[in-house]
Structure formats: C-alpha cells, structure tokens
Chain A
Amino acid sequence: MVSFQTSFMIAVFLLTISLIVWKPRGINETVPTTLAALLVLLVGIVPLSDIMEIINTVSGASITIISTIIMSIVLESVGFFKWVAYNLVKKAEGSGIKLYFYTLLLCYLTTLFFNNDGSILITTPIIIRIIKLLKLKPNQQLPYLLSGALIATAASAPIAVSNIANLIALKIVGLDLNTYVAMMFIPSMLGILTISFLLFIYYRKDIPKKIPSYSLQYRNWNQEKVLPEHPLSDHSMNGSLNIDWPTFRLCIVLVVLIRASFFTLTPFGIPLEVIAIAGAILLIAVRWFKQGKGSMDVFKKTPWHVLLFAFSMYVLVYGLHNVGISDLIVDMFKESMISDRFNTVMISGLLLTVLSNVLNNLPAVMIGTIAFVEMNLSIEMLQLAYLANILGSDIGALISPMGTLATLIWMFILRKNNINVTWGQYIKVTILVIPVGLFVSLFALYFWTEWLFF
C-alpha cells in the first residue's frame, strides 16, 4: 500500500516536471520548482532540519555555475561573441561541411570554457544567425542547429565543471576534479566523437556542399547599423563594434587561466567556488579598468534564480528520497552492482539514461547518486557508478528533449525565433545516434578504468 506522503510527493514532483517542460505563459522553471519545494517543506516530507545540509550540498556547485555565467556576460559585453557567426562562415570558405564541423567545434569549446546551459544560450543565437545569413532551407538548417545543441550538451561530460548536476554529484561522492578528468575525459570524448561522426553520416545529404561566400566592407562605427544583436548583448552598443583588442586578448587569456586553475588550485584545498568567484570578479575588474564600465549591467543580467532552482530541485529530490524512491533503486540494483564493475558501469549508465529522459537529468542525477551512496558500495565502485551516472545524464539524456534543461532551453530559443523543431523530428535523429554514443562511452569507461586504475 502506497502511503499518502509517497503519492503526494510523486504527484508534486511529476507536476513540477510537467510545468518545467510545458512552460505555460513562458514562466521560468524556477517558479514551479520553488512552489513545489515550499509545499514539500510545509507538509514536512523534507524536515526543516535538512535545509542546511541541502544548502551545503548545492551551494558550491550553484555559485560556480553562476560565476561562469557572469564571466560569459562580461565577455559578451566586450564583444567576444559578436564576430563568431561571420568568422565561421568566412573560415568555412564556401564549404557547408567545413561550416558544420566549425559549428560543432564552437559548441564544444563554449561548453568547455563555460557550461552547458550557458553554451546553448550563447551558441544557438549564433547558429540561427548563420543559417539566416546563408538563407538555408529548413532541411539544411536542422543539421547545424540540432548537432550543435547535442554536442554543446554532451560536452559537459569530459571535465565535470561544465554542468551543475555533475558538480553537485561530484561533491556527494567525494571525487576530486583531477581524478574525474583522468577517469572520464577519454571515455566521454570517445562518446562525443562517435555522436559527431554519426550525426554527420545521418545529415550528410542535408548539409549543403557549397554555401555562399560574401564580401565584407567596413565602415566607421557611427554609420549604418547592420549587425543583428545577440540576446546577451548590451543594447546600448547596438550596431557599433568598438574592438578593444588588448581587452579581448587579456580576457581570453584569463578565461583559459581561470579554467586551468580549477584543476591546479583545488588540489591545494582551495574550493572551486572561490576560484570561480575570483575569476568572475577579475574579469569585471579588467573590464572596469580597461573600459570604465561598472558591474551593474552584469548584476542585472545574471540569472540569480539558478541558485533557487538548484536548491528547490534538490529539496524535491530529497523528498523523493525520504518517501523511499532511492530505496527502490537500491533494492532493485544493489545485488547486481555490488560485485561486478562492468555491471556497475552499465546499470548506472542505463538507469540514468532512462531516469533522465523521463524526469530530466538534474533530479535524475541527484536521485541516482543518493541511491548509489545508499548501496554502501566500495569507494571505487561508488565513483565508477557516479561516472557512468554522469555519462547517462549528460549523453544518454539527449534521447528526448525532456532529458536536459539545456535542450529545453534550446527548443524555447528556436520557438522564439520562429524555427519549429518538433519532439518527433528531434527523437527521430537522437534515437539512432545517442544510444550508440552512450554505449561507446560506457564501454570505454569500463575498459579505460580497468586498464589504468583498478
């Protein structure tokens, strides 16, 4: 007999997920999540005494991600992304195939240096700008748009710091960043390369062989306004491109250094979020020093609600845990996982793929990680389960748009730009490509870790 609390918790959770996907009147995903979390706290499914533990678990990851988003806002304001659409078309030298691979590279690198949701927010408008500039037909647009979104999202697996879910789970299992990269970089990259290759094979007939090359002319900055704006851009700069070369160069060097310092400074006990905050402050200071701009625009554009969203989502996951959902996972899979590393990798990866595509990967990865901790696995098994967990939630989750917040944001941006990509169109491609990429990365994770670590 299912108790009232269990039915109530599951109903509240499913309703919240439905509202996140449906977005009635375009409401922010934080609204239903926060209301649901308040309800769960009021009913007492999650006692108030757990709040500090939840804050402790999610705060570091959320602050790190917010700081990364702040960095991307600062960089956008110094003109970082304004040229990308034109540069890519120019570098493609009239080849649609070259443009395709440049687009994938851009999406991969943007996630690597920022994070997956930020990467979707930055790169999708750039790709839309490219396909509008080139006036591609609808069947020619989808290869660039969909492949870019899939790679941008999957690219959060190799280094852990590009995804809030990865960071929260990392803290729960007590894995350090450098060990994560050593164990995960090669397997996840093999998965990403497989997906890129399969997407290219799938779309090879739709990708235009030739794209138009165009002539560029330059005018003084106060003349005609011709550049379409990026959504993150500062409208007061509309049309003008004051290229501040020293600032541009300094900023890209700082971005690389800040990213690298995540890995070089955390072994000395410096918390990740402290490095991230310092990096964001440093970039704001550089912009102020070089261009005399304060920080108010950055403050206004920063999506502070991410902090509340992560907290509320974790309250809901804690609620599911408290009514016994994680025990259900433990009972079903503990026996098979506890003794065999291959089983651990496959079960964790596939379980998270299913959970992510049904529930979205943020709660799924949290539920999965809590369940694996409850299984009392040995530390090496727990960490292996966590890594496979991440492959399921970052790569396997891409089968349906429901799987990740990034793909939901992507669909929302497309709709706002009058580009209709249906769930059917999306799944028709991903169902062929993603499972292969997932299995490649799961097998690679097993063999790579067996070879080097166990």
Chain B
Amino acid sequence: MIISIFFVLAGSIFYTILRPPKNTEKTEPHILYIKESTFVKGVEQNG
C-alpha cells in the first residue's frame, strides 16, 4: 500500500517533468521552435 502511494507521488513528479509546455495542450500539433538568435544573445549576456 505504502509503496503504491509512493509510486503515485513519484509518478506525479515524473509527469510534471515530462509534460510538454502548457500552452501546446489545447492546440493543433506543433513543433517547438527556439528563437535561436534571442537565445544565443541571452547566453552571451549571461556568460
């Protein structure tokens, strides 16, 4: 019983780590697009 509760808790945490970003949930199939120039700029600024 305790182990089942543990797995449910662990599964919930695993789910939050794995789930796609919220704003893709109710839309059509998407592709994640990273705005490369903005991202690289951010890296350079932050070291």
Contact = CB atoms under 8 A, between A and B. Distances in A.
Interface of A: 79-84, 86-88, 90-91, 102, 105-106, 109-110, 112-113, 133-135, 159, 178, 181, 208, 210-221, 223-227, 239-243, 245, 248, 252-253, 255-256, 259-260, 263-264
Given A212-B39, A256-B11, A84 B30 contact: no
**What are the nearest 5 A-B pairs in CB distance?**
A256-B11, A212-B42, A214-B39, A221-B29, A260-B7
Contacts of B11: 113, 252-253, 255-256, 259
B40 to A, nearest CB: 8
A102 B14 CA distance: 11
A134 B39 CA distance: 9
Contacts of A102: 17
13 contacts: A87-B21, A102-B17, A113-B10, A113-B14, A212-B43, A212-B46, A216-B34, A218-B30, A218-B33, A221-B30, A223-B31, A226-B34, A243-B24
A109 B23 CA distance: 25
A362 to B, nearest CB: 26
Contact of A264 (B4, B27, B33): B4
A219 B30 contact: yes
A219 B31 contact: yes
A173 to B, nearest CB: 20
A260 B3 contact: yes
Residue of A80, A91, A133, A218 most packed against chain B (CB within 10 A): A218
Given A81-B18, A86-B21, A260-B8, A105 B29 contact: no
Interface range, B side: 20 to 34
A286 B33 CA distance: 29
Given A83-B20, A221-B31, A226-B32, A109 B13 contact: yes
Given A178-B3, A224-B31, A241-B20, 13 more contacts: A109-B17, A159-B3, A212-B46, A214-B38, A218-B24, A218-B31, A219-B30, A219-B31, A220-B31, A240-B31, A241-B29, A242-B29, A264-B3
B31 A241 contact: yes
A302 B23 CA distance: 34
Given A181-B3, A223-B31, A226-B34, A211 B46 contact: yes
B13 A243 contact: no
A207 to B, nearest CB: 13
A443 to B, nearest CB: 23
Contacts of B40: 135
A218 B29 CA distance: 10
A154 to B, nearest CB: 16
Residue of A87, A113, A216, A253 most packed against chain B (CB within 10 A): A216
Nearest to A224: B33
A415 to B, nearest CB: 25
B21 A216 contact: yes
A221 B30 CA distance: 4
B6 to A, nearest CB: 8
B35 A217 contact: yes
A241 B25 contact: no
B46 A210 contact: yes
Contacts of A88: 17
A109 B4 CA distance: 15
Contacts of B18: 80-81, 83-84, 87, 252
A249 to B, nearest CB: 8
A239 B29 CA distance: 12
Given A212-B42, A218-B32, A252 B15 contact: yes
